[in-house]
Structures are given as C-alpha cells and as structure tokens.
C-alpha cells in the first residue's frame, strides 16, 4: 500500500475540494440490491441511512475513559469559536464542492420548502447557506454565528444586496434572542470529524427545541455513522511504530498517546478488507441531546485474506424532506470531502481469513471535561484460524 498524503490528526479544527458531479446514489448495504436516486458523491457502497439501527443501545454509557490530559487546560472548547474566525477554514469548507454543492442543490431544487418561510441558519460562518435560502425565496433568514466571521457575513450580505432578507446575529445560539418566536426551517452544517467531533449537534437540537414550529423542517435530518476495517501496514509503521526508534533513541512512551489519537485521513478504497457496518443513525428532527452518546455492536466480515491494522469510521448525511432523496457520504468509496475518514489504529495486527468476522462494540460519548472532544471505546475480538485476539482500546478525539 502506498503512503497516503494530505493527512492530519483529529486535533485540526473541522468544518476539500473535489469537483462535484451528480452520480447515482443509494443508501443501501453494499451487499444488498437497492434503488438508485440522484445526487452528490454517494456510490453503490453506501448502506441504508433509513434502515433500522440494529444492535444499538442508546443513552449515557457507563464507561470511564482514560484521561491523559490531567492539568492541560487548553482544549478544543477554548479555541473552537476563535478557530472559525480565520478565513482559511471557511475557504476549505466552501471549496469542498461535495459539501457545498449538495446544500445548494437541496435548497435550489426544493424551493417549495423555502418560499415565504422563516429560516434559522445555525453556525452560519460566511453565510453561504443563508444566501442560498434567500435566493430560493425565503421570507427571512436569521444567520447566527458566534465567531468574528459574523462581521464578515454581514458585509457579504450587504454586498450582495440581501440585507432586507438576511439578518446576521453574532453570538451563541444558547444566548441570543431571535426577533421571532418560531421559525419554519433550521438549516446547519454541524457535522465534525467522526460526525460528532466539536459537539455542534447539541446546539442544533437546542435551537430546534426552542424555535422550530412543531411541523418545521430540520436540514439535514438524518446522519449515519459507519465502521469498516483496513490494511494499513506501511502508514501505521510510519505514524505509530516510528516512536520505537527515533534516530537511535527509544521514544516509545509517545506511542501509547499516538495510538489513542484517531487520525483524520483519506483512505484508499483498496485498503478496505471488510464490509461496512452501520453503527447508528440519528434522526435530527426527533432525537434527544443524550442520544449522541451511545454503544453500538458491530460485525465486520473479511472479504479476502489479509491483515487488519485499523478500524475506519465515516458518516453519511441525508435530506429526506426533499422532493427526491438527497445527501452525501464521507466514505472511502465516495468522492472525497474535507471530513476525510477517521482511522483508529489497533494495538494488534489481525491476521484474518476470508469469511471470518471481527465482532465487538463501540461506545461514543462527549468528554466529561471538554464536551467538544469525543471519547471512544472499542471492544473487539477475532477467533480465526490464524489469529485469536480480544481487546479493549480507548481513543480520544481532541
């Protein structure tokens, strides 16, 4: 396997570029037949977003995560809003054509949802989604942005002659007051690495519960998290085993920390060894804030004889209220996005034969100290002809 390029760790703030082309999509299991619909970067490997999330238990998991950062007060929560004041992050997101074009298509191709409606844009950034909504005929759009980019968004709205339709409000959703009691639509691009990194989902849910009409629409309204397994010998050696011998010195004490930090990177689809398993589907229009913490079981079946060095997580997003199903995937078999995939390296190298299965569970929860960080616990076992292993590993996205 050739070395991947353009990687970065989960320490990079979220929220890219690949030319958007409409392709046939389907939210179906890769092993099942399905019906194609039009949109975005999804391909025939994507699992059903709306199928039942089997083997998932929700609620606050009773798990004690290892805290390796005692005494470290610098967190993603401290820097979150400041990071979005820098135009470079917004440039990356806007140039992620899969992301931005999907939102544009959702709005422009479904104007019946927006015409004469009041819209709330949560985490508006440059205001691009608000601009789309205004052009689609919204009666008024309230664009809420907490970072200093709100000042630029106001200028952008004025420059484009839309000040009579778009009102930019600077502040936290939890602290601002809207000039209206209720809104018809809430739109947001809240997804982080691993879907849940940075914990912006709870902000959207707060806005939904406070301001959305009972029959209002949340866009997007579905998000699904998946897990697969890959061969990654060369890159794991470069990123993890490297610490065993650094210019003749043993720095293996860093190796444990490196193993605990998921890597945000683009995975070549040829590295994939197993099927993809749907861990959880979230219905943004109905879920409770606590539902973002969950434990889900998984079964990954090898599709060939190979070695497994890491699990890989990715997510799909869908807009089910549209005239036709629309959405996109961040999976390794779909056109790349700025979210890439999330790689969780294993302490063991698993020698797996075709048809053998890795079974286990993944527990996901916000870090208790820094809720914008994500704690992940993976229990997994393999009882194969050439490898028998059972282990628990902890990860922390920060």
Q: Which domains are present in the chain?
A: 77-189 (3.40.50.150), 222-397 (2.70.160.11)
Whole-number Å distance between alpha carbons of 301 and 320:
30
pLDDT of residue 27: 39
Contact 319, 132 (CB under 8 A): no
Cβ neighbors of 62 (< 8 A, separation 6 or more) are none
In percent, the amount of the chain with pLDDT more than 70 equals 78
Whole-number Å distance between alpha carbons of 101 and 141:
19
Mean pLDDT of 128-146: 98
Whole-number Å distance between alpha carbons of 363 and 355:
25
Q: What residues act catalytically?
A: 189, 198
Whole-number Å distance between alpha carbons of 224 and 54:
13
Cβ neighbors of 381 (< 8 A, separation 6 or more) are 358, 359, 360, 389, 390, 391
Least confident window among 5-14, 41-50, 146-155, 316-325 = 5-14
Question: In the structure, what pLDDT confidence band is assigned to residue 82 with cuts at 50, 70 and 90?
Answer: low
What's the Cα-to-Cα distance from 379 to each of 185, 248, 360, 384, rounded to whole Å? 39, 34, 5, 17
Using the CB atoms, write b or e for 179-201: b if 16+ within 10 Å: eeeebbbbbbbbbbbbbbbbbbb
Mean pLDDT of 325-335: 97
Cβ neighbors of 353 (< 8 A, separation 6 or more) are 302, 305, 384, 385, 386
Whole-number Å distance between alpha carbons of 234 and 248:
20
Q: Is the pLDDT of residue 386 over 50?
A: yes
Contact 46, 278 (CB under 8 A): no
Which candidate, 323, 373, 283, 267, places its Cα nearest to that of 106? 323
pLDDT of residue 64: 46
Q: Is the pLDDT of residue 66 over 70?
A: no
Helix axes 149-159, 128-135, angle to 10 degrees: 30
Question: In the structure, what pLDDT confidence band is assigned to residue 217 with cuts at 50, 70 and 90?
Answer: very high
Which sign does the torsion angle of CA 273, 276, 277, 282 carry? positive
Q: Is the pLDDT of residue 125 over 60?
A: yes
pLDDT in tens, 221-265: 999 999 999 999 999 999 999 999 999 999 999 998 999 999 999
Burial tier of 342 (Cβ tally within 10 Å: 0-12, 13-18, 19+): buried
Q: Is the pLDDT of residue 98 over 70?
A: yes
Which candidate, 4, 39, 8, 35, places its Cα nearest to that of 329? 39
Relative to beta strand 183-188, strand 212-219 is: parallel
Q: What is the pTM for the complete model shown?
A: 0.81
What's the Cα-to-Cα distance from 193 to each of 4, 200, 386, rounded to whole Å? 18, 11, 34
């Amino acid at each position: 396997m050739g070395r991947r390029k353009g990687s970065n760790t989960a320490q990079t703030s979220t929220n890219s570029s690949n030319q958007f082309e409409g392709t046939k999509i389907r939210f179906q299991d890769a092993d099942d037949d399905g019906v194609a619909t039009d949109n975005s970067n999804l391909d025939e490997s994507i699992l059903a977003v709306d199928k039942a999330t089997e083997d998932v238990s929700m609620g606050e998991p009773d798990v004690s995560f290892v805290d390796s950062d005692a005494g470290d007060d610098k967190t993603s929560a401290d820097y979150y809003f400041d990071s979005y004041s820098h135009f470079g992050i917004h440039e990356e997101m806007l140039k992620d054509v899969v992301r931005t074009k999907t939102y544009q298509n959702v709005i422009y191709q479904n104007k019946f949802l927006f015409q004469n409606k009041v819209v709330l844009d949560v985490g508006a950034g440059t205001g691009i989604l608000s601009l789309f909504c205004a052009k689609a005929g919204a009666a008024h759009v309230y664009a809420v942005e907490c970072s200093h980019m709100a000042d630029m968004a106001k200028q952008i709205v004025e420059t484009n002659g839309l000040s009579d339709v778009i009102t930019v409000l600077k502040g936290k959703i939890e602290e601002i007051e809207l000039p209206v009691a209720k809104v018809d639509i809430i739109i947001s691009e809240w997804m982080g690495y691993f879907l849940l990194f940075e914990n912006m989902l709870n902000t959207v849910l707060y806005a939904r519960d406070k301001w959305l009409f009972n029959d209002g629409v949340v866009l997007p309204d579905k998000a699904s998290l998946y897990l697969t397994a890959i061969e990654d010998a060369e890159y794991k050696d470069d990123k993890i085993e490297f610490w065993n011998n650094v210019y003749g010195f043993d720095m293996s004490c860093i190796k444990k920390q490196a193993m605990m930090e998921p890597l945000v990177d683009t995975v070549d689809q040829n590295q994939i060894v197993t099927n993809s398993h749907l861990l959880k589907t979230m219905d943004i229009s109905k879920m409770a804030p606590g539902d973002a913490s969950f434990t889900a079981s998984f079964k990954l079946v090898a599709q060939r004889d190979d070695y497994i060095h890491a699990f890989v997580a990715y997510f799909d997003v869908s807009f089910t209220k549209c005239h036709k199903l629309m959405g996109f995937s961040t999976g390794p078999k779909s056109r790349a996005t700025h979210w890439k995939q999330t790689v969780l390296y294993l302490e063991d190298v698993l020698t797996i034969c075709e048809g053998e299965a890795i079974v286990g569970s993944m527990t996901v929860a916000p870090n208790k100290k820094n809720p914008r960080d994500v704690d992940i616990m993976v229990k997994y076992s393999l009882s194969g002809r050439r490898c028998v292993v059972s282990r628990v590993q902890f990860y922390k996205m920060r």
